[in-house]
């Protein structure tokens, strides 16, 4: 039977797959992309009778493709924490879907594997900005404060690498990044020994220096909204920077606006960390929006709709 490993190209998707394959090695065709590339199952329109593992992409977004694969005799193992819509039932679909704000896909896989590769789940939780949950999950590992901080750094770096308009914007294509960490049982070794981690750290540091020069276009009771220029570094650093901004003002929401190469706007939204909900509802009110309750985004907002977004942002998060 052919096998496909389908995963979001961010820290969570990569670490979820790494845990599963450390547990059960399997040669599979890798299907992934930039973080925003979430309709990954559409690429398997010609596939039948295959074993398919799907990680960290919404089953709602991929609903029709999932149904098609099931009808064509495929077996699916599906883990995800994004908005899921109506549950999908099929004898050949094993779905572990939990959309609570305090889990990520790698934590769901960790649960499934009884914590066997916990350090990778911790790394992913940091990458998905679930800092509290990452620290809680790390408890039994007895890491030093410095080691825990290193996992935080690595999670952020893996997540950082997934942001961009296309693979050309990224330092390392996610499939290649995943392959590069396959040889490492522990994330701390990957961070200290791999060339990939070194390259990501260098790129990240340079991008953050540029990002730190930006000022908010809205700063009020609901939160802060920043706008980046139409440049590659901005598209790469946007997600991690939104998390950093959000951590600075946990009582308020955060949004970061970055132009796409086609002139439309991509927006990342973070609900207030102290009340982590409402981000998905706000974003889904716009045609290309989606995400999780705590962190969501809009892929292509027409520039002319920015005032409408700012209004909706204030309405959503004004206390
Ligand atoms: Mn995730």
Residue range(s) in the chain whose domain bears CATH number 3.10.310.30 = 216-317
Q: H helices within the chain, ranges in order?
A: 11-23, 63-71, 105-112, 118-127, 131-138, 145-160, 174-181, 187-193, 195-211, 232-248, 279-284, 306-317
Whole-number Å distance, alpha carbon 304 to ligand 1 midpoint, is 30
Quick check: 172 pLDDT over 90?
A: yes
Whole-number Å distance, alpha carbon 229 to ligand 1 midpoint, is 26
Could you report the per-residue pLDDT of 15-55, keeping only the tens digit for each? 999 999 999 999 999 999 999 899 999 999 999 999 999 99
Quick check: 239 pLDDT over 90?
A: no
Question: Are the beta carbons of 158 and 11 closer than 8 angstroms?
Answer: yes
**Apex 113 CA angle, 147 and 122, nearest 5:** 25
Whole-number Å distance, alpha carbon 127 to ligand 1 midpoint, is 8
Quick check: 165 pLDDT over 90?
A: no
Q: How much is the pLDDT for 288?
A: 92
Whole-number Å distance, alpha carbon 81 to ligand 1 midpoint, is 7
Q: How much is the pLDDT for 280?
A: 93
Whole-number Å distance, alpha carbon 227 to ligand 1 midpoint, is 24
Could you report the per-residue pLDDT of 256-310, keeping only the tens digit for each? 999 988 999 999 999 999 999 999 999 999 999 998 899 899 999 999 999 999 9
Q: How much is the pLDDT for 261?
A: 84
Q: How much is the pLDDT for 124?
A: 98
Q: How much is the pLDDT for 113?
A: 98
Q: Is 195 exposed, middle or buried (0-12, 13-18, 19+ CB in 10 A)?
A: exposed
Mean pLDDT rounded to a whole number for the chain: 95
Whole-number Å distance, alpha carbon 174 to ligand 1 midpoint, is 14
Q: How much is the pLDDT for 83?
A: 84
Q: How much is the pLDDT for 101?
A: 86
pTM over 0.85: yes
Q: How much is the pLDDT for 220?
A: 95
Whole-number Å distance, alpha carbon 12 to ligand 1 midpoint, is 5
Question: Are the beta carbons of 20 and 107 closer than 8 angstroms?
Answer: no
Whole-number Å distance, alpha carbon 66 to ligand 1 midpoint, is 19
Tell me which architecture the domain covering 216-317 has in CATH. Roll (3.10)
Report the CATH number of the 2-202 domain.
3.90.1640
Residue range(s) in the chain whose domain bears CATH number 3.90.1640 = 2-202
Model confidence band, residue 243 (pLDDT cutoffs 50, 70, 90): confident
Quick check: 234 pLDDT over 90?
A: yes
Question: Are the beta carbons of 46 and 81 closer than 8 angstroms?
Answer: no
Mean pLDDT of 96-103: 93
Of 182, 188, 83, give the one whose Cα is nearest residue 126: 188
Residue bearing the bigger pLDDT, 299 or 76 = 76
Whole-number Å distance, alpha carbon 16 to ligand 1 midpoint, is 9
Whole-number Å distance, alpha carbon 2 to ligand 1 midpoint, is 26
Model confidence band, residue 169 (pLDDT cutoffs 50, 70, 90): very high
Could you report the per-residue pLDDT of 112-163, keeping only the tens digit for each? 999 999 999 999 999 998 999 999 999 999 999 999 999 999 999 999 999 9
Whole-number Å distance, alpha carbon 126 to ligand 1 midpoint, is 10
Whole-number Å distance, alpha carbon 196 to ligand 1 midpoint, is 21
Buried-exposed string 79-91: b where 16+ CB fall within 10 A, e elsewhere: bbbbbbeeebeee
Could you report the per-residue pLDDT of 190-233, keeping only the tens digit for each? 999 999 999 999 999 999 999 999 999 999 999 999 999 999 99
Of 104, 96, 124, 141, give the one whose Cα is nearest residue 18: 124
């Amino acid at each position: 039977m052919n096998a496909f490993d389908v995963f979001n190209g961010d820290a969570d998707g990569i670490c979820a797959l790494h845990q599963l394959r450390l547990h059960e090695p399997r040669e599979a065709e890798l299907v992934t992309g930039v973080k925003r590339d979430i309709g990954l199952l559409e690429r398997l329109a010609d596939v039948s009778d295959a074993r398919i593992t799907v990680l960290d992409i919404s089953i709602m977004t991929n609903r029709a493709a999932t149904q098609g694969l099931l009808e064509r005799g495929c077996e699916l193992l599906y883990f995800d924490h994004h908005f899921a819509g109506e549950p999908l039932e099929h004898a050949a679909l094993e779905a572990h879907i939990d959309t609570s704000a305090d889990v990520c896909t790698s934590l769901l896989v960790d649960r499934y594997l009884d914590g066997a590769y916990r350090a990778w789940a911790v790394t992913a939780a940091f990458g998905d900005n679930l800092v509290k949950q990452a620290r809680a999950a790390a408890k039994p590992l007895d890491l030093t404060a410095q080691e825990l901080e290193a996992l935080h750094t690595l999670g952020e770096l893996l997540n950082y690498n997934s942001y961009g308009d296309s693979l050309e914007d990224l330092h390392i294509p996610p499939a290649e990044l995943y392959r590069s960490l396959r040889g490492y049982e522990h994330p701390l070794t990957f961070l200290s020994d791999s060339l990939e981690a070194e390259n990501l750290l260098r790129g990240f540091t340079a991008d953050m220096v540029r990002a730190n020069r930006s000022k908010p276009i809205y700063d009020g009771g609901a939160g802060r909204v920043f706008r980046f220029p139409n440049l590659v570094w901005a598209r790469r650093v946007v997600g991690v920077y939104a998390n950093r901004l959000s951590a600075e003002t946990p009582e308020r929401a955060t949004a970061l606006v970055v132009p796409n190469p086609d002139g439309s706007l991509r927006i990342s939204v973070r609900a207030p960390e102290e009340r982590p909900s409402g981000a998905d509802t706000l974003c889904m009110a716009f045609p290309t929006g989606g995400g999780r309750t705590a962190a969501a985004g809009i892929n292509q907002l027409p520039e002319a709709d920015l005032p409408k977004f700012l209004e909706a942002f204030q309405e959503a998060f004004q206390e």
